[in-house]
Chain A
């Protein structure tokens, strides 16, 4: 006989049948079933194979600790491996497949491993496959890797969405069993903000499996009434299907809500999973206790189940475990099951109680065998009998289901996530939560309270105390009398059962059996952390929820010490597995990272820009024209046009910072290595910022718009960093200075207009005279534009080496102004140019960027030695830049580099060798920091940092790319390839 659905009973909706498949076979369940209960109702007890020995496995629990019933659910991109059938709600069309079997669940070739089991004990792979050594990488490891693992992830993209969100509350209650419900009612009635989370699909916890009554109503009706009240309270948020998986600093809890894991086709407007970060002033852990298995031979045969789980299937789902049911218990819990079975017409064939005195209060019909143990269960794919061992005498009885209860372990995981270690209690035969938890209290079974009435009282009292501590007035909720309450005090644990002949499993998911732990101790791996790694006990998806305490008990016995001395492994988040989707939330695909668009993005797009991501900005890389087939063609054209006519480049993404205050000039004087104190109003100056260690941090131009107002530009990459740096200087280094700093990067659309015809074009839109006399190089002023329609800022600065201006206008007008400039420049040959052309132009001119300012250079390295003021009192970097090592003549210095043959080329990053030196790093003279093809010179050109570079102009060298094995004969030269006298800048 197998499990079956009872004619009546349970909290399922028998009017709503639900069709699903298991391994392709169609089955029927009811609304309200879990996949596990539906499988049992269909008589399906064999549901999977074990990971290592491929032993037949059945459903062991009814909750999240399930180690056996791991299934692959769904299809295509929605395929999800390792879904616990005990937690999966049944839905119409659900497709479930068993795992760890081939070719089928019934006939699994992998089961041959059972025959090899004497050779596959703990640590077998550490001791075998030692020779021949080459086979380890070629054969053994690939084979083991192929055999290992639970389930298979899909390669298809997940079509569903996920999200992350925050919640805040006065009291977070974790667990909605009797304790949690009592706590929620007490705190909810006070007006406090309460969040009640429960990992199951329905609130109620153990009450949903109870036959007791509370205040004259059944436990399930009590739950319904309580939840109705809680739902009516706007200050109470109830999150079912939500597992609190971690407790973090700041009393923040991580929880994952399975929003749409119970439907075949999710609503696209909703995520399938939602990751909550719950900030709680206080938390009450009411997570209950987990029943422990007993370690006897064959305790993994389908049909063997935890006693409380069997009770859940019986009472909540109306599923009987079998006809001939035995119960093996160490405590009173097994008797509650016996009573419920008998009430359903299934008189247990035996109750095997390890206690010599058993339970004297039991008045049922089952045969009770006190002081006895189940030493072995027998069967293959289904349970057939059990051997009972009492006082050295063995007895075998025929059964088709066996319930077991080895006592209870409080579910204290969350309480240990912030570093606290569980504490062993001999009195409770369990590990308890650490003391002194800040922000969290425990109530109910997790705090060793037993019985429904006691848990209701405990939950109410502790919640009242917590809420009152937060300033709310309340009194503990009270409840009517609890009838048929089962109070099961802690009993002496049974680690080692006498008379065992078969494999007695400790960790079902990892196929760790009793003897494995003995081997670990024998071989010196008796420490709990070592034993875990050696045997794999407590690993994988269940993280030893059922196995850890039994393993610790067995280790303790083997070592002859107390479980307290063995201790536990470290409890870390996550309590149960969390999907990558939930952790990622909405931030994937086009939402992976923010996109930052320039105010000239639209202008660039309509002019044919090809964009490139730089940081978060989308910058115009180049502008393709008809007939151009390569990017180089476009870039070469843009570069030539700037040198001959004029170009317009979007430089809006340069950092822009407004610096105001009576001491703004003094502030800049300390921030920059060169002088700024006397910068005249209406002038811009190139500045170098050093770090405290003397290295260059960033460069840029700062303009003085008025006596007390400066306008700084930074590199794009360092815009935020410089802003932070300036704030630090103002707030921490020199709080006495009157200086105020504001980022205005996004305020301005800024465009560089560069080329010999730049002034002609700009003058058509600027209302004021911008001739060389009126507005010379490094001029800076606020200007009127378009006949007074607009105001902007005009800087006469140049990155290209040409006559150039940068015009900044309010961002919303950027596109319109750029359109106007293109219109004005049409007859002057203006063309847009992108950052690629900008780079070529600046390399031709020998201007540096962060390619050269690489964090290891001082101003003198780049030829900026005169920009380090010797007369200023102090500035950042002054002391350290004078260090001996930073003034050495051997330091790398900026040079230009060109190939001897202009038809050859080289790449950035290539190293410089002396002409006839061997290609070894010890002969390294420096490296190419930037390179480009120069249309102006019709050759590749580069900038390089080379030892004593400034003394070595005209020296022939070898440019060596060691990665690509490329050698290019070249020559070092002046880094300024175009207009070294700077005549163009001043026209």
Chain B
């Protein structure tokens, strides 16, 4: 079946982005998401994830003690990922989550109000500045949330919950869309 053309189907392929004056919602490309795990507090673990990233702003996000998510829009092949893992230090391990996590961008001037309907995190820029990341519930769904700009947040969710989170976000945006 080597002639069979495989198709990669994004989890939110049948969802239409919304673009509004005050709030917009879009599914980001299913590029790469790599979980990097090291010993909490170990200096090497702090620097390694950065070396794996594509250099884009906010490409490396904290994901818990000693854990980071390296994300980017470009997919990485199995060989590239294996090569990255080989580059990691002796006590640092990577797990490919590129197909398991789906990224959704919510942006617009009302983004804090929208997300405030789902998360208990204080989203004020003074409390959660650009580059901050945390795991939180958006309503009932566990989400990894990163502030990528003053009025932009990236929500990373398990693939199986992506449609459900999207539908919840639509409701949350309705007031401002």
The reply to whether the CB of A279 lies closer than 8 angstroms to some CB of chain B is: yes
Do the beta carbons of A813 and B163 come within 8 Å of each other? Answer: no
Contact of A789 among B6, B10, B101 (CB under 8 A): B6
Do the beta carbons of A786 and B9 come within 8 Å of each other? Answer: no
Q: How far is the CB of A965 from chain B (nearest CB, A)?
A: 42
Do the beta carbons of B97 and A747 come within 8 Å of each other? Answer: yes
Do the beta carbons of B95 and A658 come within 8 Å of each other? Answer: yes
- Chain A residues near B124: list those with CB within 8 A: 168, 193
Do the beta carbons of A279 and B122 come within 8 Å of each other? Answer: yes
- Tell me the B139-171 residues at the A interface (CB within 8 Å): 139-141, 158-161, 163-165, 167-168, 171
Among B1, B9, B122, B167, max chain A CB count under 10 A is at B1
Contact of A595 among B2, B93, B164, B171 (CB under 8 A): B164
- Chain A residues near B140: list those with CB within 8 A: 587, 593-594
Range class of the A interface residue count: 35 or more
Q: How far is the CB of A499 from chain B (nearest CB, A)?
A: 58
Do the beta carbons of A742 and B35 come within 8 Å of each other? Answer: yes
Do the beta carbons of A746 and B100 come within 8 Å of each other? Answer: yes
Do the beta carbons of A744 and B2 come within 8 Å of each other? Answer: no
- Chain B residues near A661: list those with CB within 8 A: 93
5 pairs from A and B in contact (CB 8 Å cutoff): A168-B124, A591-B167, A597-B163, A744-B100, A791-B78
**Please, how many angstroms separate the alpha-carbon atoms of A658 and B96 in the complex?**
10
The reply to whether the CB of B73 lies closer than 8 angstroms to some CB of chain A is: no
The reply to whether the CB of A617 lies closer than 8 angstroms to some CB of chain B is: yes
Residues of B in contact with A (beta carbons under 8 Å apart) = 1-4, 6-11, 30, 35, 37-39, 78, 91, 93, 95-101, 113, 116-124, 127, 139-141, 158-161, 163-165, 167-168, 171-172, 174-175, 177
Contact of B99 among A598, A708, A811 (CB under 8 A): A811
Do the beta carbons of A269 and B174 come within 8 Å of each other? Answer: yes
- Chain B residues near A789: list those with CB within 8 A: 2, 6
Do the beta carbons of B120 and A277 come within 8 Å of each other? Answer: yes
Known A-B contacts A279-B120, A789-B2, A812-B30; A746 and B101 likewise in contact (beta carbons under 8 Å): yes
The reply to whether the CB of A596 lies closer than 8 angstroms to some CB of chain B is: yes
Q: Could you mark each residue 237-255 of chain A with 1 if its beta carbon is under 8 Å from any beta carbon of chain B, else 0?
A: 0000000000000000000
Chain-B contact segment, one of A216-224, A225-233, A685-693, A815-823: A815-823
**Please, how many angstroms separate the alpha-carbon atoms of A83 and B3 in the complex?**
69
- Chain A residues near B11: list those with CB within 8 A: 599, 811-812
Do the beta carbons of B95 and A595 come within 8 Å of each other? Answer: no
Contact of A816 among B9, B98, B141, B175 (CB under 8 A): B9
Do the beta carbons of B174 and A812 come within 8 Å of each other? Answer: no
- What 10 A-B pairs come out closest when comparing CB atoms? A787-B2, A747-B100, A746-B100, A810-B99, A660-B93, A740-B37, A168-B122, A596-B160, A811-B99, A746-B159
Do the beta carbons of B167 and A812 come within 8 Å of each other? Answer: no
Grouping DSSP codes into helix (H, G, I), strand (E, B) and loop, the A interface class, with mixed when no group exceeds half, is mixed
Contact of A594 among B99, B165, B171 (CB under 8 A): B165
Among B95, B113, B140, max chain A CB count under 10 A is at B95
Do the beta carbons of A823 and B117 come within 8 Å of each other? Answer: no
Among B3, B93, B98, max chain A CB count under 10 A is at B93
Do the beta carbons of B2 and A591 come within 8 Å of each other? Answer: no
Contact of A168 among B38, B97, B98, B127 (CB under 8 A): B127
Do the beta carbons of B160 and A597 come within 8 Å of each other? Answer: yes
- Tell me the A589-606 residues at the B interface (CB within 8 Å): 590-591, 593-599, 602
Known A-B contacts A163-B117, A764-B1; A816 and B7 likewise in contact (beta carbons under 8 Å): yes
Do the beta carbons of B168 and A815 come within 8 Å of each other? Answer: no
Do the beta carbons of A812 and B10 come within 8 Å of each other? Answer: yes
Q: Which chain A residue has the least Cβ–Cβ distance from B33?
A: A747
- Chain B residues near A767: list those with CB within 8 A: 2
Among A164, A168, A594, max chain B CB count under 10 A is at A594
Do the beta carbons of A824 and B171 come within 8 Å of each other? Answer: no
Known A-B contacts A270-B175, A661-B93; A594 and B159 likewise in contact (beta carbons under 8 Å): no
Do the beta carbons of B99 and A738 come within 8 Å of each other? Answer: no
Q: How far is the CB of A298 from chain B (nearest CB, A)?
A: 50
**Please, how many angstroms separate the alpha-carbon atoms of A270 and B176 in the complex?**
9
Do the beta carbons of A740 and B93 come within 8 Å of each other? Answer: yes
Q: Which chain A residue has the least Cβ–Cβ distance from B141?
A: A594
- Chain B residues near A277: list those with CB within 8 A: 120
- Chain A residues near B98: list those with CB within 8 A: 747, 810
Known A-B contacts A594-B164, A660-B93, A740-B37; A813 and B8 likewise in contact (beta carbons under 8 Å): yes
Among B39, B78, B168, max chain A CB count under 10 A is at B78
Contacts A747-B100, A764-B1, A814-B9 supplied; 16 other A-B pairs, CB < 8 Å = A166-B117, A193-B124, A279-B122, A591-B167, A596-B158, A597-B163, A738-B39, A740-B37, A745-B158, A746-B158, A747-B98, A765-B4, A788-B2, A812-B99, A813-B8, A815-B7
**Please, how many angstroms separate the alpha-carbon atoms of A586 and B171 in the complex?**
8
Do the beta carbons of A745 and B1 come within 8 Å of each other? Answer: no
- Chain B residues near A823: list those with CB within 8 A: 1, 4
Do the beta carbons of B99 and A587 come within 8 Å of each other? Answer: no
- Chain A residues near B39: list those with CB within 8 A: 738
**Please, how many angstroms separate the alpha-carbon atoms of A745 and B119 in the complex?**
24
- Chain B residues near A788: list those with CB within 8 A: 2
Q: Which chain B residue has the least Cβ–Cβ distance from A656?
A: B100
Among B10, B39, B99, max chain A CB count under 10 A is at B99
Q: How far is the CB of B29 from chain A (nearest CB, A)?
A: 11
Q: Which chain A residue has the least Cβ–Cβ distance from B167?
A: A591
- Chain A residues near B120: list those with CB within 8 A: 166, 277, 279
**Please, how many angstroms separate the alpha-carbon atoms of A789 and B8 in the complex?**
11
**Please, how many angstroms separate the alpha-carbon atoms of A637 and B174 in the complex?**
47
The reply to whether the CB of A165 lies closer than 8 angstroms to some CB of chain B is: yes
- Chain A residues near B78: list those with CB within 8 A: 791
- Tell me the A810-853 residues at the B interface (CB within 8 Å): 810-817, 820, 823-824
The reply to whether the CB of A167 lies closer than 8 angstroms to some CB of chain B is: yes
Q: Which chain B residue has the least Cβ–Cβ distance from A742?
A: B95
- Chain B residues near A590: list those with CB within 8 A: 167
Do the beta carbons of B161 and A594 come within 8 Å of each other? Answer: yes
- Tell me the A560-596 residues at the B interface (CB within 8 Å): 586-587, 590-591, 593-596
**Please, how many angstroms separate the alpha-carbon atoms of A791 and B97 in the complex?**
14
- Chain A residues near B2: list those with CB within 8 A: 767, 786-789
Do the beta carbons of B6 and A165 come within 8 Å of each other? Answer: no
Do the beta carbons of B159 and A599 come within 8 Å of each other? Answer: yes
**Please, how many angstroms separate the alpha-carbon atoms of A591 and B39 in the complex?**
39
**Please, how many angstroms separate the alpha-carbon atoms of A823 and B7 in the complex?**
15
**Please, how many angstroms separate the alpha-carbon atoms of A617 and B164 in the complex?**
11
- Chain B residues near A161: list those with CB within 8 A: 171
Q: Which chain A residue has the least Cβ–Cβ distance from B38?
A: A740
**Please, how many angstroms separate the alpha-carbon atoms of A269 and B23 in the complex?**
14
The reply to whether the CB of A919 lies closer than 8 angstroms to some CB of chain B is: no
Q: Which chain B residue has the least Cβ–Cβ distance from A276?
A: B116
Q: Could you mark each residue 321-364 of chain A with 1 if its beta carbon is under 8 Å from any beta carbon of chain B, else 0?
A: 00000000000000000000000000000000000000000000
- Chain A residues near B99: list those with CB within 8 A: 599, 746-748, 810-813
The reply to whether the CB of A880 lies closer than 8 angstroms to some CB of chain B is: no
- Chain A residues near B118: list those with CB within 8 A: 165
The reply to whether the CB of A790 lies closer than 8 angstroms to some CB of chain B is: yes
- Chain B residues near A738: list those with CB within 8 A: 39, 91
Q: How far is the CB of B125 from chain A (nearest CB, A)?
A: 11
**Please, how many angstroms separate the alpha-carbon atoms of A746 and B35 in the complex?**
13
Q: How far is the CB of B119 from chain A (nearest CB, A)?
A: 7
Q: How far is the CB of B114 from chain A (nearest CB, A)?
A: 9
Do the beta carbons of A596 and B164 come within 8 Å of each other? Answer: yes
Contact of A813 among B6, B93, B116, B164 (CB under 8 A): B6
- Chain A residues near B35: list those with CB within 8 A: 742
**Please, how many angstroms separate the alpha-carbon atoms of A824 and B39 in the complex?**
45
